[in-house]
Structure 1
């Protein structure tokens, strides 16, 4: 399938935000576009961070419950470990789709010298899935489905869902589309992607400038900007109008859950009562957090030794 996928009514930009750098974790810098004051939630998405971290900074031991985290590395590497004994390193181009479910405590720290940069997306879970057992789907860069249009103008890496005839191996509990598009300079055609009309969708620009629409009505979205796309269209059409710079952007869309959201930091449930119960479970090491009582990551122990 070429980039001329059937998109009869492209969605337009409804709102856009610049994701400014802020400090998060221990010495890490993030650009947060979803989960900020102006955009607390974009059903089913809770947070989108573009993070940059260099050792010894990072995200030491912290808990989660009630949603999934999707970590997509752009450069460098991050070592992940949790209280279930799971440990591994996510390198440039790799994806980790972690289902926190009823509870996980883990750390995410840079592996090796230099700066590690990536994206982390939090995907909400419906009430029936919030207390499932935690689990992981991890894929190396070489295993991510990738395809290029016949004219070479558009390349897409399919993190979740399908695009241009390629399909991701990721299984999503909350139906989700997650695509990494690159449109070369002077590309004759745009990146086109169908999106179910009822789904919420956004674009996050990593490099270059994305153009939505044609002529005087076209809207430009620059690097580190999030563009929320309006409802009503059947897909997305994005142009690169630069003569010398490639455009790289993420297209993410998901089926809204439509349930109440109660959130306290890394805990996301449906009611304040469930949040109170979660805090109690975590503090008392019960109902999914039993192993947190005696667990400390190797990264945290190393930090303790330094101090």
Structure 2
């Protein structure tokens, strides 16, 4: 028998400073994770602020641009632009150092997806999709689902998720409703980007900039209704890894010993961080004098 997910709780994601001059609304954090998700921010940033050279190990970062354009560059030689509606799914794996700096006033979602212990030391890689390459489901007039990861109403994303993940951008016009299937072993949340709606079997009202957490009640779908006004929201859900988490800033592993080894590797340019020695991005300390024409390079494997 089909059972709807309920909304267990919600909270307002308040604006706070992050990076160098950026602001974020954080709906998932190291103190409040939802396995397999480690962090989720709605970020807003304008030049010359941004997120200059910094490392990662042990997870994936997903950047979905809502407005504006951001430049990306890493120590492997990869660089490019992430424009409105584009997504970059970066697997940090055993280690990467990169820079993310806005070319224009920018707004977007960044999600950190944990990797299982068997995947934490894989080689870094990217899955980049332009907005036009991301499929859209339209189950009804006035209902649009941009399927970044997972499946919605028969439409499946091209993104490969090592950790099974759903990531979708919903737009509902006033008076419309939608039902989205969710595997019963997934857990996750909704972040309301614009407007308000009624979510779950308990018709919980969710307002703009609020995160709504699913109840793990064995439900296989969630229903949403835009009663009062148009609503836009992100649906984020994934299969829990059920593994221990030890983190230190941008490093996420399973044990304290692995974190100690990661810090050693980072400081000594070993085991995945060899290319960090002497590397500095061209964008990390300002983009005002950079010509972004043809600013895209893929590292040779």
Q: TM-score per shorter chain, which class? A: over 0.9
| Map of 2:181 onto structure 1 | 194
1:228 and 2:221 equivalent? no
RMSD: 1.5
| Map of 1:54 onto structure 2 | 46
Show CA shifts across 1:14-61 (max 9, x none): 121211000000000000010054x1x110000000000000000000
| Map of 2:293 onto structure 1 | none
| Map of 1:148 onto structure 2 | 138
The alpha-carbon distance between structure 1 residues 270 and 36, as it changes in their structure 2 partners (threshold 3 A), is closer
Structure 2 counterpart of 1:205, from 192, 198, 206: 192
Q: How does 1:107-146 map to 2 (within 5 A)?
A: 107-112=99-104, 115-146=105-136
1:95 and 2:87 equivalent? yes
Offset at residue 213 of structure 1 (A): 4.9
Tell me, which stretches of 5 or more residues in structure 2 are unaligned?
290-301
Q: What SS does the corresponding residue of 1:172 show, helix, strand or coil? A: coil
Tell me, which stretches of 5 or more residues in structure 1 are unaligned?
1-6
Q: What SS does the corresponding residue of 1:185 show, helix, strand or coil? A: coil
The alpha-carbon distance between structure 1 residues 34 and 95, as it changes in their structure 2 partners (threshold 3 A), is same
- How far, CA to CA, are the matches of 1:91 and 1:182 in structure 2? 19
- How far, CA to CA, are the matches of 1:293 and 1:86 in structure 2? 17
Q: What SS does the corresponding residue of 1:298 show, helix, strand or coil? A: coil
CA contact (8 A) 1:205 1:226 kept: yes
How many corresponding residue pairs?
287
| Map of 2:59 onto structure 1 | 67
Structure 1 counterpart of 2:168, from 163, 176, 179: 179
CA contact (8 A) 2:47 2:286 kept: no
The alpha-carbon distance between structure 1 residues 268 and 36, as it changes in their structure 2 partners (threshold 3 A), is closer
| Map of 1:23 onto structure 2 | 17
CA contact (8 A) 1:181 1:191 kept: no
